[in-house]
Amino acid sequence: MGMENKPNKPHVLVFPFPGQGHINPMLQFAKRLLSKGVKAALVSTLYLANSSFSDSSISFSFDHHTISDGFDQGGFNQAANAETYLSTFCSVGSRSLAALIMKLGETGHPVDALVYDSLMPWALDVAKQFGVPSGAFFTQSCAVNSVYYHVWKGHLQLPLPRTRVHLPALPPLQVSELPSFVALHGLYRAWLDVLVNQFSNIDEADWVFFNHFYELETEVMDWMSKLWNVMTIGPTVPSAYLDKRLQNNKDYGMNIFDPNASACLSWLSGKPKGSVVYVSFGSIASLGTEQMAEIGWALKQRKGYFLWVVRETEKPKLPDNYIKETSNKGLVVTWCPQLEVLSHESIGCFLTHCGFNSVLEALSLGVPMLAMPQWTDQATNAKYIEDVWRVGIRARCDNKGIVKRETIEHGIKELLKEVGEKGKEIRKNLIKWKNLANKAVDAGGNSDKNIDKFIAELLSN
Ligand code: UDP
């Protein structure tokens, strides 16, 4: 690459949206850049830096800069609502990011490129003021991004008629399989605006990064590559689980909640191979009491074991005495080291909300998924899990929107190969995807080559 001959390593700021599902992939991308000789630096909000990064063990020597989102004491939860948070973040964040870029320039550390989370197109506008080349980083799937792109372009007029939609390079999608911000138009106005606005200035971005690998969404990638300088650089699962080329890269290095690591791992260590159902709905999704009860029943009724992540704020929704009554077969924790859990041989399947990171992690680690999407992009991911990648099955809801205990129980049985043939086929497919994911990030793989290409383009600027 000739990096050795360059007097200064390119200085790249990596700026994720302050949420677990955004920080994880972008931090991991920054580590890949660092491992290839780039001076990658992380930009996070003051609140996150003070609350989550302070005592975590980021095993990489990042420069870490902070900016303000306007809510330095409490972040998103300090804001009255999503609208207020997002618009304040845009105005305060723009000024704060501009001040940072200026300060770095003045102190002899000029920024050579900005990689910003696509949810914050205003970061691109800031970088342009300083002539800094920029790349948008998308943390959702290309299918999902493409749906939002068509809304932005006016090809998909909202509200949608109650039918299927046909979009270029995507399978026909039922309205219920579209991102909820689109399907349930009007319910999540502020978030829909953010996702649609990802494309407001995208034509000015020098690079467009996607957190997956080419084979996962070949058709839509080919389609998108006609529009922008697109690069798949993932999956951004830590290297220890894939190519193993990066030293000490076993986790993302930042947790918004405290993971009960030793409790989870010692509990798992005694369990038979493939016997545990892992259940998690990620960092944001919130279930109703009735739905919690159905999951609770399904897990309690089964003979096998379960590990269920129930965040502190969700705990009051558990049935009375549930933890006590199931302690012989289940462990309920408020957060866990998900990668270590998914890669543990005792895990048999994953009941998941289908957050894109969780999906990529399960797919890369070979864990069959029982898909129970809740909102945002998850229904589209669930469709792909079942029908396109064929690495899991959907647990469908009844006409009141509840996934019943029998449905969950049956899904688990299928994935654990206790009934039917689906479990077998899914496991076969998972071996294929796991290998492809590994190949993509390993030396000379698609994603690896794209990262090299990005660095080469940086050096030639
Ligand atoms: N995660 C974790 N411990 C948990 C649950 C989730 O470390 O108990 C991690 C998970 O590995 C993933 C991220 O949190 O990287 C969640 O991102 P995802 O896109 O799956 O869902 P979101 O939280 O954004 O809805």
User: What residue ranges do the domains of the chain occupy?
Assistant: 11-253+440-460, 261-436
379-400 pLDDT, tens digit each: 999 999 999 999 999 999 999 9
Would the pLDDT of 377 be above 60?
Answer: yes
Residue 179: cis peptide before it, omega within 30 degrees of 0: no
Using DSSP's 3-state secondary structure scheme, residue 346 falls into: coil
Residue 401 pLDDT greater than 70, yes or no: yes
Is pLDDT above 60 for 4? no
> Which whole number is the average pLDDT over 90-113?
97
Q: Which residues are part of the catalytic machinery?
A: 22, 117
Top-level class of domain 11-253+440-460: alpha beta
Distance CA 49, CA 226 (A): 38
Task: Determine the residue of 358, 372, 377 to mutate for testing ligand 1's pocket, defined as the one with the most ligand atoms within 8 A of the Cβ atom.
Answer: 358
* Same fold for the pair 11-253+440-460 and 261-436: yes
Probe ligand 1: pick from 281, 357, 377, max atoms within 8 Å of CB? Answer: 357
Q: What is the pLDDT of residue 53?
A: 66
Asked if the model's pLDDT at residue 99 lies above 60, the reply is yes
pLDDT for 57: 47
Q: Are 237 and 365 in contact (CB under 8 A)?
A: yes
Helix, strand, coil share (%) of the chain residues, nearest 5: 45, 15, 40
Question: Which residues does 222 contact at the CB level (< 8 Å), separation at least 6?
Answer: 169
pLDDT in tens, 28-62: 999 999 999 999 999 999 998 888 765 454 556 78
Mean residue pLDDT of the chain comes to 94
Q: Which stretch of DSSP H or E encloses residue 14?
A: strand 11-15
Question: How many angstroms is it from 426 CA to the middle of ligand 1?
Answer: 22
pLDDT at 58: 55
Which atom of ligand 1 is nearest the CA belonging to 333? 8
Q: Assign residue 31 a region: left if phi > 0, alpha if psi is -120 to 50, beta otherwise?
A: alpha
Give the three-state DSSP class for 11.
strand
| Residue 375 · residue 180 · CB < 8 Å | yes
Residue 51: the pLDDT is 82
The closest of 147, 52, 45, 47 to 90, measured between CA atoms, is 45
261-436 placed in CATH 3.40.50.300: no
Task: From 41, 249, 24, select the one nearest 139 (Cα to Cα).
Answer: 24
CA 281 / ligand 1 centre spacing (Å): 8
pLDDT in tens, 197-229: 999 999 999 999 999 999 999 999 999 999 999
Average pLDDT of the residues in 289-298: 98
Q: How far apart are CA 419 and CA 414, in angstroms?
A: 5
Closest-lying ligand 1 atom to the alpha carbon of residue 25: 15
98, 43 Cβ separation under 8 angstroms? no
The DSSP secondary-structure symbol of 53 reads: I
Task: Tell me the pTM.
Answer: 0.96
Least confidently predicted of 244-258, 413-427, 437-451 = 244-258
Q: Are 365 and 434 in contact (CB under 8 A)?
A: yes
Residue in 141, 119, 198, 137 with CA at minimum distance from that of residue 383: 141
Predicted local distance difference test score (pLDDT) of residue 210: 98
Q: Burial code of 72-97, b = ≥16 C-beta within 10 A, e = fewer?
A: eeebbeebeeeeebbebbbebbbebb
Tell me, using a 6 A CB cutoff, whether residue 381 lines ligand 1: no
User: Tens of pLDDT along 115-170?
Assistant: 999 999 999 999 999 999 999 999 999 999 999 999 999 999 999 887 899 999 99
User: How many angstroms separate the alpha carbon of residue 337 from the centre of ligand 1?
Assistant: 9
